[in-house]
Every structure is written in C-alpha cells, then in structure tokens.
Amino acid sequence: MIKIISNVCSNGVIGKNNDLAVKYSEDLKFFKKMTLNNNIIMGRKTYESIGSKPLIKRTNIVISSTLQPTNNVLVYKSLTDAICNFKDAWIIGGGSLYEEALHFTDKIFLTISPDIISGNNIIKFPWINPCIFKISQSNTFEQDDKLKLVIYERIK
C-alpha cells in the first residue's frame, strides 16, 4: 500500500525555503509513529532538508538522478522504479513527488494546521481530486486540538 503523509497549512503550504512550513510536536510524533520501521520515499530536496542523512529505523529511499546510494539510503531514478521494488511505502515529500505519487497512492494522511504561510519559496500540497479520493476520517489531535488529522482513501 502506498501512503502519503504530510503537514499542510490551512492555505495548502507544506514547505518554505526547503524546510517544513510549520513544526508541531504532536504532528512530528505522529509522523514518527506512522513511518517507524517502514519504507519511506522522498525526493532529493526533502532528503537534503533533513540534513542529507537517513531517518533512523526506516528504509530510506530517495528519488534522484544525481545522488549516489549509501549504506543507509537507496536511490532510484524514478518514483515508478521505487514503487515497483517497494509496494508498501510512505511518501514523505516534497511537493512534486506528492503530485506524482497521487497516481499510485491508496491513502493520504494530512495534518492540517491553522497557520497561513506566504511569501517566496513556498511549496503547496497538490490538489486532491474528490472524484478519486474521499475523506474516510477526520479528527483533532489529542494533545493539540488546533491540529486536525484528515485521512483520504482512494475510491475503488
């Protein structure tokens, strides 16, 4: 199963200046809980934004035509190649990879924050087509009720 996970500001922004747009402790804990001991797929810029080092206790897969694999990071030239080898994975960013991944994704986990981020160098989450995905769950986080978790599932 291919799943997307992201934090999205209320105006759709997910990143600014090659970093997360916002960071909430409750959301970061949720991200870790969901992705730990799983395969994660990310684009090169996302990999660089986390310090060009793998996230521990996960199989780190980077989509890049320029990076070389290391002992702890697998590199594929395309998302299609990565998904062919890892049919169960989390897509963790960035924006263009999310957009491409929507074609393969079964579930989308979005943490919606109330923040509005603007300015230069922002990245937005791609549009979710309601003819392809439906909301299957929506609730607030226990420890931070201003954050909302929305889960979308592909319509069969």
Give residue limits of the domains in the chain. Answer: 2-154
What pLDDT shows up at residue 71?
A: 80
For domain 2-154, give its CATH number from 3.90.1150.10, 1.10.275.10, 3.20.20.80, 3.40.430.10.
3.40.430.10
Chain segment 58-105, per-residue pLDDT in tens: 999 999 999 988 889 999 999 999 999 999 999 999 999 999 999 999
Q: What's the whole-number average pLDDT of the chain?
A: 95
- 140-149 pLDDT per residue, tens: 988 888 999 9
Query: In the chain, how many H helices and how many E strands?
Result: 4, 11
Q: Average of pLDDT values for 114-141?
A: 95
Q: What is the pTM for the complete model shown? A: 0.94
User: Could you tell me the strand order of the sheet in which 13-16 lies?
Assistant: 19-20, 13-16, 122-124
Q: Are 96 and 73 in contact (CB under 8 A)?
A: no
Task: In whole angstroms, give the CA distance from residue 116 to residue 100.
Answer: 25
CB 17 within 8 A of CB 118: no
Contacts of 76 (CB under 8 A, 6+ apart): 61, 62, 63, 64, 82, 85
